Structure 1
């Protein structure tokens, strides 16, 4: 079987230090998404973690991006930053009901990001996974889970996630567990070690390694999403473009 589609992108598109480094001087802020989407394969919408939006916003973002582009959407913090995850049905419904389907074919996976203080509780996590719908309207949904507590390095967590068909995010950041398990029909990575004194965020050798890893994730037809997130955020667009060239 051939490899899946590999998309490389960044988190968000509004960041002042990108003006003049990634975005040309004088580019209207209203056109920044259009500019970024034309040069990358995906963008992780981060604003949805902090607040809700109207369907018109999602439709406008979709219109600014070219065909084949994909947005992933970070779930509201009210769905994941809570004592008992399995009690979050109302928050999950509110988040998913704000108009994500207006992204249409450009709607990619939903990112559920858990705080570093959240330890693995098998019963509670199983209850949470049962709350995640497989569709929004008529559109299939894919779910990616970013966990940040060492207790998730547990075969029971991997099995729960695989049974649910959700992806475990490969989070490359010091202090976070790095779980590299194929639990879904897609892969999702968040790379967070960019260095500001390296123009492309990562050295050529490091980018070669990430390109090889992305190809491994994509084997068997798995769509693969690789995002350059934190570390030296100013380098994220350059890092994403450099990795795209390697691929």
Structure 2
């Protein structure tokens, strides 16, 4: 891996490309989706092909539990549309440790495993932490220094999914902004909500789908999440989500990655498609 460390701090850009809102789910293999999302006669080997044409992104969870083969990333790249993007859960071996500063080897192995075979379809990396992991400013700073800003000339986006209340701290927000790392915004869940925008993109995971709703969410809730996604993309910050700091970064268009995760999982693809429709029609 080359260019594995970034200089800090880095000045923010003054020009931005048009923002894109991407909506997706976690993974694409789930038996209850058959007949509800996937046609009954669709072969399993074509599930990714089908899902990637109904949604605009998918978060891959298998990378959290173990190393995937480079040939798998190549296959996933080839089976999906040109403008499709995957986000990847980073390996738990990097984040589930007492001293985060010692995660360098795990970070290196992950990026050497073949993830770059996704090419332009490689979206953000989600570094998910255990709910018991508490904020330690010095150690978290050391961890963020391990995350590559570029590899072989390809820009890498990072998001951190912290799930302990101690991270709702101004010093954590400042660190994330310094490294331009997004804080995963947890919606409709028991995890602490930190909606501060800290990067040139937003990464949100909403977890409130219910069995009682045909599309997973009530229409008013789908409308609300679509509106929030549009606000983020336009450079604003929604007023109805919990932030640590009152101040906001410079308004600028930001790509948005919004994943419908957990909750009543059988309905998550339907909720994702409903959100895509709302974003496109407003």
Q: Which residue of 2 aligns with 1:121?
A: 136
**Alignment pair present for 1:224 and 2:252:** no
The counterpart of 2:268, out of the listed 219, 231, 236, is: 236
Note the C-alpha offset of 1:173.
Answer: 4.1
**Alignment pair present for 1:102 and 2:117:** yes
**Alignment pair present for 1:177 and 2:195:** no
Q: Structure 2 length normalisation: TM-score? A: 0.86
How far apart, in 1, do the equivalents of 2:266 and 2:224 lie? 21
Residues 145 and 169, structure 1, Cα contact 8 Å, conserved in 2: yes
Q: Tell me the number of residue pairs that the alignment of Structure 1 and Structure 2 aligns.
A: 247
Residues 101 and 137, structure 1, Cα contact 8 Å, conserved in 2: no
Note the C-alpha offset of 1:175.
Answer: 2.3
Q: Which residue of 1 aligns with 2:11?
A: none
Structure 1, unaligned runs of 5 or more? none
Report the structure, 1 or 2, having the larger helix content: 1
How far apart, in 2, do the equivalents of 1:193 and 1:86 lie? 34
Q: Which residue of 1 aligns with 2:180?
A: 165
**Alignment pair present for 1:5 and 2:20:** yes
How far apart, in 2, do the equivalents of 1:57 and 1:158 lie? 35
Alignment of 1:32-181 (within 5 A): 32-181=47-196
Q: Which residue of 2 aligns with 1:26?
A: 41
Q: Secondary structure at the match of 1:196?
A: coil
* Alpha-carbon displacement from aligned partner over 1:91-135 (angstroms, at most 9, x marks no partner): 111111100110011000000000100000001100000000011
Cα distance change on mapping 1:244 and 1:75 into 2, 3 Å: same
How far apart, in 2, do the equivalents of 1:72 and 1:52 lie? 15
* Alpha-carbon displacement from aligned partner over 1:44-82 (angstroms, at most 9, x marks no partner): 011000111111110100101001100001000101111
How far apart, in 2, do the equivalents of 1:216 and 1:133 lie? 29
**Alignment pair present for 1:200 and 2:237:** no
* Alpha-carbon displacement from aligned partner over 1:193-216 (angstroms, at most 9, x marks no partner): 110110111111001110110011
Note the C-alpha offset of 1:138.
Answer: 2.2
Cα distance change on mapping 1:227 and 1:70 into 2, 3 Å: same
How far apart, in 1, do the equivalents of 2:189 and 2:57 lie? 24
Moved segments of 4+, more than 2 Å: none
* Alpha-carbon displacement from aligned partner over 1:13-39 (angstroms, at most 9, x marks no partner): 011111111000021100000000011
How far apart, in 2, do the equivalents of 1:2 and 1:135 lie? 18
How far apart, in 1, do the equivalents of 2:149 and 2:172 lie? 19
